[in-house]
Copies of this chain bind each other. A is one copy, B any other.
Amino acid sequence: MAPLIKPTPITGFPEFLPEMRLVEQHLLDTVRQIFERHGFCSIETPLVERLEVLLSKSGDSDKEMYVLGRLQDKKGEEEARYGLHYDLTVPLARYVAQHEQDLTFPFKRYQIQDSFRGERPKLGRYRQFKQCDIDVIGRENLSLEYDALIPAIVLEVLQKCTGMLEVELRLSNRKVLAGFCAALKIEDPTPILRALDKILKIGPDGVQEELTELGLDAKTIDLFLTLGQIKTEDTSFVDKIKALGIKNDLLEMGLDELVFCFNRIKAYNPSAPVVVDLSLIRGFDYYTGSVYEVALRNSDFKDALGGGGRYDNLASTMTKTKLPGVGMTFGISRLLGLLVDQGIMRPNRKSPVQVLVVNLEEDKQKMIDLGKQLRGRGINTELYLEGGKLQKQLKYANDKKIPYVWFDSDNTLKNMETGEQIIADPTTWIPDNK
């Protein structure tokens, strides 16, 4: 006999036991339901894209890409032409450009799929991970309304999923900073954005140092530092920025958009935890207006749960049609890890079963009919078909953490958590927890 192959995990490719998968399903269902309640449609794209499409997005993501080969190809015989997608933005751009004639705009879609990165896995970094994107894409133009709608929906989703944890939405607008730089005659704002972006990590002193190294004068540095530290939970940021004495049309437009966005998000949810935070950057060349981040409040977990923003043109490398959009992304795998870590979701039951019918009768027709009856009423019902000793059957229910056990002999119903037993009527009984 051939030696056994050891079935071992592959680093970076997580796999769940049933109890964890059940929790993941619950999370996915919640996300999907809220998106669909707001009228967003689901799309899925193939896991595979042409390399030229994958490489068309700027940035250095090509380093982390998986390409496909065929086992029977001799090495090097055929150039790799396809790769696995590493995010859901590139597939969306290709999808909208390809199907432009068949879509109704503004096109509102969400997408929950695995993405793949060939990088060395680190803690919390996976090679295969579930991601969730929501975007609205306009043709030629897109109302500012969506700059408020998208973060309002994502906030709703993340508030629902994180339960007791406090989340907040951080909001800014790139036009404010761009206008600010333009007014100060700074030609390339990117190094300044990079410095400001680190304010949470390295503090104002660290940013001051970096800005000094960029050769800015003390007054300008002071302006940026003051701007980068403006955080308000109302629209008072406007006066604070105006007090800096910088005037510029782009800046004005950014402020107007930011005020609109802030107020509109409050219109969706008056108690929405929104912070206008002028240090929020989110990438250096992609976003052109609103930018967002959702993060935990009062938590050791400092990383953003999700983020996004407004972009001018989704698919400029693939179509001449201008496709402005606004969207957000968050990592399902990461969120799930956090929620389990924090005890918000507790993997427990090992199956979706609500009731196990144990078999004490000689004839199994009775339990089969009972199962059918309960299932017909929407109750997930498993039959212990093998029968045998009651103790063994109860142990099975215990091992799988099944909440109720039903005796086919006399309709005794045992609550496995409390131990309580009643005689139940299969035509009316409803389980406590679904």
The chain A residues found within 8 Å of chain B, CB to CB, are 2, 4-10, 13-18, 21-22, 25, 36-53, 56, 62-63, 65-72, 75-76, 80, 82-84, 94-95, 97-99, 102-104, 108-109, 114, 118, 127-128, 143, 145-146, 149, 267-268, 315, 317-320, 350-353, 356, 364-365, 368, 372, 375, 378-383, 385-386, 396, 399-400
Contact = CB atoms under 8 A, between A and B. Distances in A.
A386 B146 CA distance: 9
A6 to B, nearest CB: 7
Nearest to A364: B267
A129 to B, nearest CB: 10
A375 B128 contact: no
Given A71-B118, A109-B18, A385 B25 contact: no
Contacts of A39: 351-353, 356, 380-383
Nearest to A376: B37
A381 B38 contact: yes
Given A7-B319, A75-B75, A94-B7, A99 B17 contact: yes
Nearest to A39: B382
Given A21-B43, A98-B8, A99-B17, A38 B385 contact: no
A319 B70 CA distance: 29
A4 B321 CA distance: 11
Given A2-B317, A7-B94, 11 more contacts: A7-B319, A15-B45, A18-B42, A22-B42, A36-B352, A41-B352, A42-B352, A47-B114, A71-B118, A72-B118, A268-B368
B380 A37 contact: yes
A42 B17 contact: no
5 contacts: A10-B49, A36-B380, A38-B380, A39-B356, A66-B71
Question: Taking the full assembly, how many copies of this chain does it contain?
Answer: 2
Contacts of A102: 17
A53 B7 contact: yes
A168 to B, nearest CB: 21
A68 B69 CA distance: 6
A379 B103 CA distance: 23
Contacts of A149: 383, 385
A350 B105 CA distance: 11
Contacts of A14: 46
B365 A267 contact: yes
A49 B128 CA distance: 12
B52 A5 contact: yes
A210 B85 CA distance: 49
A128 B47 contact: yes
The 5 closest A-B pairs by CB, nearest first: A39-B382, A13-B46, A145-B385, A7-B98, A39-B353
Contacts of A76: 75-76
A350 to B, nearest CB: 6
A68 B36 CA distance: 35
A38 B382 contact: yes
Contact of A9 (B10, B63, B71, B98): B98
Contacts of A365: 267
Nearest to A24: B44
A50 B8 CA distance: 9
Contacts of A21: 41-44
Contacts of A42: 18, 21-22, 25, 352
